[in-house]
Chains A and B, each alone.
Chain A
Amino acid sequence: MSTVGTDRVKRGMAEMQKGGVIMDVVNAEQAKIAEAAGAVAVMALERVPSDIRKAGGVARMADPAVIEEVMNAVSIPVMAKCRIGHIVEARILEAMGVDYIDESEVLTPADEKHHIDKTKFTVPFVCGARDLGEALRRIAEGASMIRTKGEPGTGNIVEAVRHQRMMQSAIRRVQAMSEDELYAEAKNLGAPYHLLKQVHDLGRLPVVNFAAGGIATPADAALMMELGSDGVFVGSGIFKSENPEKYARAIVQAVTHYQDYELLAHLSKNLGQAMQGIDLATLREEERMAVRGW
């Protein structure tokens, strides 16, 4: 007897990605560069987030032909994004054999009220979160992996730092609570009690917790590890830099050796121009992706 799609299999897949870098790619050539640099997975997209920002309009699931091209090019896992609440885009990605689905705020939400019931799927999901309550709501819906939202496509780390800081400080606070305080805290956070109890007992989320949204340099990636992330997603940061191969290699090594500062200095040398960043103060409220979802 064998069983597919169990929590252990779905969450376990994310456990295997820990200490690794997941890179956004838009074609086979980029996917191969990512794999050769030591990426643990690639996220197949039609456009990286900074180009999604520029293009404007409604951002949807990528063309399946692009995703297939990437799946055929590499042997590492391939992830793809569907819109928040878009059950059918998710089913299409699952049917294609995508290894992990990102129900992502980078795309335009399809449902303003409901996220996908991810417990119904065999394929695992990763979801973005800004704080502990949001993370636990996504886990209750069946997310097997959490990432910070950050502010995608900006090359600006400040929001990812804010989100991971909020998450980690809330986890420490919950861990220190007495058991009878957890009921009220569950209400405060809008999070299911049984998941909050797990956070209290484990001192961390019950699933893997990555950083994403604004990572542009090896030092940014190491910073997110320092703040307690299990690994990082890099979106525009690699293929919008001057030298994607160098950035990809350096960021992979920076995540493994995030506390070896001499090595980080060496890894940060002569990389060429990082991606062009955006000061968040210049973004209009409706241009912010992190506020999508609840």
Chain B
Amino acid sequence: MRIAVIAVQGAFREHIAALKSLGVDAYEAKRARDLDGADGVIIPGGESTAIGKLMREYDMLDPVRELARAGKPIYGTCAGMIVLAKRIEGEDTVHLGLMDVTVRRNSFGRQRESFEADIEIPAIGEPPFPAVFIRAPHIVSVGDGVEVLATYGDRVVAVRQGNLLATSFHPELTDDYRLHRYFLDMAQAPVAH
């Protein structure tokens, strides 16, 4: 199994390390051609405006959409979640526009409000899961077919829609790789979109 990690900007190295520690062939994708033959895609944390712009300028949006249509799993963390969303509050431009959710950027405030918290994610096993929120977005509303995997307070922070997965927080900054394992299980048991 080969997982492409979008590497135009952001914390792609950490995702690759997480996947490699799970015995998976993970690699950097900077151009459209790098997505050929991928069995799944991770869009890392970073700045969503920069990642969205660079993916657009280097024609990476359509290949990822095609992989999603073919049932390959796509996982976005933080900025990656914003890149996946169909709606971004207060903005006209969306990026991949794949996931039927509305996201609010920087929803917890500025960097000084960034935090760590233990949360529950029943789908991946026993709590706690250490969640790192950095200028994080949250999901304001979800469409039909979107399953809420985790909340923090009254905010939705992890969702799944078929073969699409998104979290507001950064499992790649911790050593708890259960979400990466969950994502790989999605790759092994593809869901029709």
Q: Which chain A residues have a beta carbon within 8 Å of chain B's beta carbons?
A: 1-6, 8-9, 12-13, 15-20, 35, 38-41, 75-77, 94, 97-100, 122-124, 252-253, 256-257, 260
Contact = CB atoms under 8 A, between A and B. Distances in A.
B9 A1 contact: no
Kindly list the 9 A-B residue pairs having the minimum CB-CB distance in the complex, ordered from nearest. Answer: A99-B111, A2-B117, A2-B115, A40-B47, A19-B9, A38-B50, A97-B110, A38-B53, A15-B11
B112 A20 contact: no
A40 B174 CA distance: 23
B117 A253 contact: no
A233 B113 CA distance: 24
Contact of B49 (A5, A17, A75): A75
B9 A12 contact: no
A124 B118 contact: no
A285 B169 CA distance: 47
30 contacts: A2-B115, A3-B115, A4-B112, A8-B173, A9-B114, A13-B134, A13-B135, A15-B173, A16-B11, A16-B46, A16-B78, A16-B135, A18-B9, A18-B10, A20-B10, A20-B46, A20-B47, A35-B49, A38-B50, A39-B47, A40-B46, A40-B50, A75-B105, A94-B112, A99-B111, A100-B111, A123-B111, A252-B50, A252-B54, A256-B9
Interface residues of B, number: 38
Given A8-B116, A39-B50, A77-B135, A16 B45 contact: yes
B106 A75 contact: yes
Interface of B: 7-14, 30, 45-47, 49-50, 53-54, 57, 78-79, 105-106, 109-118, 132-135, 170, 173-174
Contact of B111 (A1, A75, A124, A260): A124
Contacts of B174: 8
A12 B173 contact: yes
B173 A2 contact: no
Given A75-B106, A99-B135, A18 B115 contact: no
Contacts of A1: 117-118
A19 B135 contact: no
Contacts of A8: 116, 132, 173-174
A233 to B, nearest CB: 15
B43 to A, nearest CB: 13
B8 A19 contact: yes
Nearest to B111: A99
B111 A256 contact: no
A3 B9 CA distance: 27
A123 B170 CA distance: 19
Given A2-B115, A124-B111, 9 more contacts: A2-B116, A4-B114, A13-B111, A13-B135, A38-B50, A76-B49, A98-B110, A99-B110, A253-B57
A102 to B, nearest CB: 13
A175 B8 CA distance: 28
A256 B8 contact: yes
Nearest to B44: A16
B50 A9 contact: no
A17 B79 CA distance: 11
A17 B44 CA distance: 11
Nearest to A19: B9
A2 B117 CA distance: 4
